[in-house]
Homo-oligomer: A and B are copies of this chain.
Amino acid sequence: MRVEIWSDIACPWCYVGKARFEKALEAFPHRDGVEVVHRSFELDPGRAKTDIQPVLKMLTKKYGMSEAQAQAGEDNLGTQAAAEGLDYRTRDRDHGNTFDMHRLLHFAKDQGRQDELIQALYKANFAEERSVFGDDERLVELATGAGLDAEAARKVLADPTAYADDVRADEREAAELGANGVPFFVLDRKYGVSGAQPAEVFAQALTQAWGEHSPLKLIDSGADADAEACGPDGCAVPQA
């Protein structure tokens, strides 16, 4: 069974929601039969790569919050994160464009290191003091920590077209699936969970989707059992 998680590195609820989902997955009896794939979603795709600002300033500027409101929101998020055992820095965190991180996550997927990288990016963005924005070498360092080759990661970051279409394809799919926000969890393309729901909701979704997960139903003409196909033992030869 496949679980796809649309999320953004700049999304605190994605950071918290991933931990809640993983708590449910950890306890799920069929967890070894569950494949998790991370999909790209940008909260702020229009932001220029060079436009980096403190989260609190962004919240007051973009959403018209007072400084006190913005800080209270961050403090509350810190509390929710702590409840999941996650560090969360409620002050002086930066906000910026995450497109390059998503490109890097697609490269990591090819290398079988996607989960390691997204975990490293979340931790760096939400818990550590050094900003993850506007510093490619910082991202290379995180990629290396996630088991990726530094030179290859550097190459991906230096070429703005690398994996760009993969990111956009994910974002198109999110829209098609009706996701307006993240995190957005899709189980077997059948069930969806929107937002950082409690672990119990993820447990229920896993159980339900697993129970209904079924092998493909094959459709054929019924007439000829021997399909006209090619396989490792050659191609079926039609009787003329």
Q: Which B residues lie within 8 Å of A194 (CB)?
A: 218, 220, 227, 229
Which B-chain residue is minimally distant from A193 (CB atoms)?
B219
Give the docked Cα–Cα distance between A189 and B69 (Å). 46
Q: Which B residues lie within 8 Å of A80 (CB)?
A: 228, 238
- Which listed residue, B110, B214, B240, touches A79 by the CB 8 Å rule? B240
Q: Count the copies.
A: 2
A66 interface hit (Cβ, 8 Å): no
Q: Which B residues lie within 8 Å of A76 (CB)?
A: 237-240
A22 interface hit (Cβ, 8 Å): no
A229 to chain B, nearest CB (A): 4
Tier of interface size on chain A: 35 or more
B43 adjacent to A231 (CB under 8 Å):
yes
Which stretch in A119-127, A140-148, A201-209 binds the other chain? Answer: A201-209
Q: Which B residues lie within 8 Å of A220 (CB)?
A: 193-195, 197, 201
- Which listed residue, B43, B215, B217, touches A230 by the CB 8 Å rule? B43
Which B-chain residue is minimally distant from A184 (CB atoms)?
B229
- Which listed residue, B16, B17, B201, B216, touches A186 by the CB 8 Å rule? B216
Which B-chain residue is minimally distant from A77 (CB atoms)?
B238
Q: Which B residues lie within 8 Å of A180 (CB)?
A: 231-232
**A window 152-174: CB within 8 A of B:** 165-166
B12 adjacent to A230 (CB under 8 Å):
yes
**A window 32-77: CB within 8 A of B:** 43-44, 59, 62-63, 69, 72-73, 75-77
Q: Which B residues lie within 8 Å of A5 (CB)?
A: none
**A window 179-200: CB within 8 A of B:** 180-184, 186, 188-198, 200
Give the docked Cα–Cα distance between A235 and B217 (Å). 41
A100 interface hit (Cβ, 8 Å): no
A21 interface hit (Cβ, 8 Å): no
Interchain Cβ contacts under 8 Å between A and B, 27 examples: A11-B230, A12-B230, A12-B235, A13-B228, A13-B229, A16-B228, A43-B232, A44-B232, A63-B233, A73-B237, A76-B240, A80-B228, A178-B216, A181-B231, A182-B230, A186-B216, A191-B217, A192-B219, A193-B218, A193-B219, A193-B220, A194-B220, A194-B229, A195-B236, A196-B227, A197-B221, A204-B219
Shortest beta-carbon contacts, A-B, top 5 = A195-B227, A181-B231, A192-B216, A195-B229, A181-B229
